[in-house]
Amino acid sequence: MMQKWEFSLKYYQDSAYELETALKEIPAFKSWRDYDPGFQYPVDTRYQAMPALTKKDIREHFPGGFVPPGVNIQRGLDSGEISFVSTSGTTDDKVTNIWNQKWWDASEKASWKLNSDASRLATGEHPEAILVNPLNVGIASDTIDLPLAQRRLARFLYLSERTNYAAWTAPHMDRMIRELAIFMPVILEANPSLLAKLCRYIDASKQTVFQPGLIVLTYENPTTFHYRQIRRVFTCPIASSYGTTETGYVFMQCEEGKFHQNTQFCRVDFQPLKKEHGGPLLGRILVTPFHNEWYHLLRFDVGDLVRIDEGKCACGRHAGMILSATEGRFVNATLTCAGRLVSSRELDNNLSVLEEIEEYKLEQIAPGSYELHLASRAADKQKLSESAADVLKGLYGPAAKIAVIHEEMIAPEVSGKYRISKTLFPLRIEDYLEKG
């Protein structure tokens, strides 16, 4: 690897502890012992010799396969120390996990140190407004509107109870604007697609909105269009937080825009893609959480592509892996006519020249064939269609067959999250990874 990151002795001790515990005590990793070259080798070498843990593996071994002998899961459930939570998504994506709230909170608190605004503002007792799909977190109600008191939970206020944001009405969004002024959150945590929709409404209706100290974007990869729409309304700092239900908080975006690894709570192994697909700086990550005695995972494939940063960060933080960008989920990647992998971020960077787009989704129907679904208020939609097709041909190749379809809005996936691209045929990450 061309980049040498800085890791503490504690990081390597935690890495070794998780590896030894998994191989010696955790039933799901019994078959992994044969991969281990032995404790006489450096811990990095031992990790690199291990396979990746998938969601399919979790489904097959859950729950007892991920706890040490003697750990009583039922006792933890009865005491409320843990619970079972299911992630939203398709059948292949959906998985049930052991949820340890105390560990999750500690992981989040450690991530705040990686952003100056979060470190200054987040105390653990600060008021926080949350605008995410209730399918992911929160209190869902699609039949009746819930009063503010029923959407309060400790220091949190959930701004919307609707699982389908197509059902947001003007009065519903007006209520969100009012409640931000009433609640005055220090931090606003949001799905970028949902916050962008609210911001389009605020901008169009020429309203003003309470400015929190920090906006934290989470649950989705924000697009250039999301940032533009949010920035028309909010002037406060914005940072993206990256993590998963399984692994806790993995990366936090600093005030300089780069992503820093939460080394106190996780190990990250990077596997570059082949050079023709964007490697060695572009690749996938495998995450090993630290300090969760209720749920031991090793080299979990979170399913995302990231881009390694080549230098130091101007924020002054140098510990751990540094990313210049998160590039989106591998399942959201598409292929050029020549077969080169295109991350959702690369697609977004190319489409960003079309400022009239509000939302979009690209579906690759077959090799060389694409459908671009657009939501836009452009007066001349034919001109926008032609411009979009030209951009996509420049990216995917002149032989690409492009169909542009205009929509009133782009619906989220069944997970409640916004997906900007996907193929309608399967791709295997192993076909794109650099060998060795």
Q: Is residue 4 a part of any domain in this protein?
A: no
Confidence (pLDDT) at 94: 84
Q: Are residues 100 and 248 in the same domain?
A: yes
Please count the other Cβ atoms lying within 10 Å of the Cβ belonging to residue 434: 13
Q: Are residues 222 and 133 in the same domain?
A: yes
Q: Are residues 227 and 315 in the same domain?
A: no
372, two tokens: 């671009």
Give the model confidence (pLDDT) of 373-420 as tens digits: 999 999 999 999 999 999 999 999 999 999 999 999 998 888 778 899
Closest CA to 333 of 431, 203, 190: 431
Q: Is residue 351 a part of any domain in this protein?
A: yes
Helical H segments across 184-223, by residue range: 192-204
- Domain boundary, last residue among 298, 332, 366: 332
Segments forming the whole domain that contains residue 204: 113-236
Backbone phi and psi for residue 298, each to the nearest 5 degrees, phi listed first = -130, 125
Confidence (pLDDT) at 252: 98
Give the model confidence (pLDDT) of 11-33 as tens digits: 999 999 999 999 999 999 999 99
Give the amino acid at 295.
Answer: Y
Q: Is residue 422 a part of any domain in this protein?
A: yes
Residue with tokens 């806790």: 248
Q: Are residues 221 and 270 in the same domain?
A: no
Helical H segments across 253-370, by residue range: 344-351
Q: Are residues 203 and 250 in the same domain?
A: no
Q: Is 70 exceeded by the pLDDT of residue 248? A: yes
Q: Could you tell me the pLDDT band of residue 1, with boundaries at 50, 70 and 90? A: very low
Residue with tokens 């990550």: 285
* Rg of the chain (C-alpha set): 22
Q: Which long-range contacts (CB under 8 A, 24 or more apart) does 14-17 make?
A: 14/267, 14/290, 14/291, 15/43, 15/47, 15/267, 15/288, 16/43, 17/290
- Domain boundary, last residue among 292, 307, 332: 332
Confidence (pLDDT) at 395: 98
Q: What CATH number does the domain containing 404 carry?
A: 3.30.300.30
Query: Do 404 and 398 meet the contact criterion of CB atoms below 8 Å apart?
Result: no
Q: Across the chain, what does the average pLDDT equal?
A: 95
- CA 161, CA 138: separation in Å to the nearest integer? 7
Mean of the pLDDT values across residues 173-182? 98
Percent of the chain with pLDDT over 90: 92
Q: What CATH number does the domain containing 79 carry?
A: 3.40.50.12780
Q: 294: helix, coil or strand? A: coil
Q: Are residues 190 and 229 in the same domain?
A: yes
Q: Are residues 397 and 355 in the same domain?
A: yes
Closest CA to 47 of 57, 35, 56: 35
Q: What CATH number does the domain containing 124 carry?
A: 3.40.50
- CA 164, CA 141: separation in Å to the nearest integer? 10
- pTM, to two decimals: 0.95
- CA 131, CA 262: separation in Å to the nearest integer? 24
- Domain boundary, last residue among 180, 204, 236: 236
Q: Are residues 120 and 153 in the same domain?
A: yes
Report the domain count for the chain. 3
